[in-house]
Structure 1
Amino acid sequence: MLRVVIFALLLAAHDVLAQAEVSSEAEIKAAYLYNFTRFVEWKTPPETSNLSLCVLDDKEVWDAIQPIRGRSAQGRTISLSFIDQIEQSDACQVMFVNSSAPRELSEIAKRAISKGILTVSDMKGFIDSGGVIGYVKQGNVIKFEINLKAAKDAGLLINSRLLELAVRVLR
């Protein structure tokens, strides 16, 4: 319960920070990514004690996410990898997808479902195209939406409290 309260406070603080433009968008996206790892479970846990978070071809988010390297989520240590091709994603449990990859989105979604990867992106229409969590900008505030069907197909269990915080949930 304390985790949920902390997460809600972080999200509320995020809204204030985003509106005040204190943090960069990439830093906010990185903070969300970290929190997503704490509220999503894999039906079939990976065989490693690490939680591998990959960034697909986005240097700005890659730089912003560095502070979470080595932190813990659900008892697993977060490791980070920068990848520039979807074929390098096999070891990923979480993958941030650069918004410039719409041509590859169908392949990304298929691969993520077959490998049990939580996909996150700021690409417009991401969850409508099979992604799991998509960032959406409302004014100066970054929020998120969730494709629950894609999550289930990938073997992911999304905490109901995270679903409540989403601005839209596809079922």
Structure 2
Amino acid sequence: MKTCLALMLAGLLFHLPAKAELKKVDKLKAAYIVNFTRFISWPDNQTMPLRLCIQDNPELSHFMTRLIASKNKKTNPLQVVSLSVATACDIAFLNKPAPEYRDIMTSTMVISDNRSVNIHQAVFTFFEQDNRLRFEVTLANARALDLSVSSELLKVATIR
């Protein structure tokens, strides 16, 4: 399963050029974020498309928009929005704490690549270990949002 997930992510990474050249690690994070949605069971009242808010990174937003457009739209479609103009977010990718957006993120699945983001909020947190991108899942935060994370995804994650 780990090999299958890695191959799927690698195929997505290098298929699309970015508007401005993103680092390989940022492309990998984008692929992970898009694929996380396939392994999450959302509440029955969840509206589609899911609004994915990106904090302060227009290049990543553009890359993710193209990545999503290249995928099958039937599986949890995503709409990329800049966090600075969002009125609501279903998913937010934060690279720094964002207390000014607290009002629009009350029921938001937070993904971060910065451990200084409120640990009580993030469901997924990226980190590097042995020169490899890894992620941890905070199950209590997922449960608080009424999200269920697939056991297949948990097999390749660090669980908190």
Is the structural similarity TM-score above 0.5? yes
Question: Which residue number in structure 1 is paired with residue 36 of structure 2?
Answer: 36
In 2, Cα distance between equivalents of 1:140 and 1:121: 18
Contact 1:53–1:80 at 8 Å: present in 2 too? yes
Question: Which residue number in structure 2 is paired with residue 94 of structure 1?
Answer: 91
Residues 158 and 132 (structure 1), Cα distance of their counterparts in 2 relative to 1, 3 Å cut: same
Question: Which residue number in structure 2 is paired with residue 164 of structure 1?
Answer: 155
Question: Which residue number in structure 2 is paired with residue 75 of structure 1?
Answer: 75
Contact 1:72–1:78 at 8 Å: present in 2 too? no
Task: Structure 1: give runs of 5+ residues left out of the alignment.
Answer: 18-22
Contact 2:52–2:90 at 8 Å: present in 1 too? yes
In 2, Cα distance between equivalents of 1:84 and 1:52: 13
In 2, Cα distance between equivalents of 1:154 and 1:89: 18
Question: Which residue number in structure 1 is paired with residue 20 of structure 2?
Answer: none
Residues 73 and 125 (structure 1), Cα distance of their counterparts in 2 relative to 1, 3 Å cut: farther
Contact 1:53–1:93 at 8 Å: present in 2 too? yes
How well do the aligned residues superpose, as a CA RMSD in angstroms?
3.1
Contact 2:40–2:147 at 8 Å: present in 1 too? yes
Other structure's SS at 1:132 match: strand
Alpha-carbon deviation of 1:8? 4.8
Residues 130 and 83 (structure 1), Cα distance of their counterparts in 2 relative to 1, 3 Å cut: closer
In 1, Cα distance between equivalents of 2:41 and 2:127: 23
Amino acid at match of 2:31: A
Amino acid at match of 1:33: I
In 2, Cα distance between equivalents of 1:54 and 1:148: 21
Amino acid at match of 2:65: Q
Alpha-carbon deviation of 1:111? 5.6
Aligned-residue sequence identity (percent) comes to 25
Q: In the alignment, is residue 144 of structure 1 matched against residue 135 of structure 2?
A: yes
Greater helix proportion = 1
Residues 8 and 74 (structure 1), Cα distance of their counterparts in 2 relative to 1, 3 Å cut: farther
Residues 31 and 150 (structure 1), Cα distance of their counterparts in 2 relative to 1, 3 Å cut: same
TM normalised by structure 1 equals 0.71
Alpha-carbon deviation of 1:5? 7.0
Alpha-carbon deviation of 1:34? 0.8
TM normalised by structure 2 equals 0.75
Question: Which residue number in structure 2 is paired with residue 104 of structure 1?
Answer: 99
Task: Structure 2: give runs of 5+ residues left out of the alignment.
Answer: 15-22
Aligned residues: 150
Q: In the alignment, is residue 27 of structure 1 matched against residue 27 of structure 2?
A: yes
Question: Which residue number in structure 1 is paired with residue 8 of structure 2?
Answer: 10
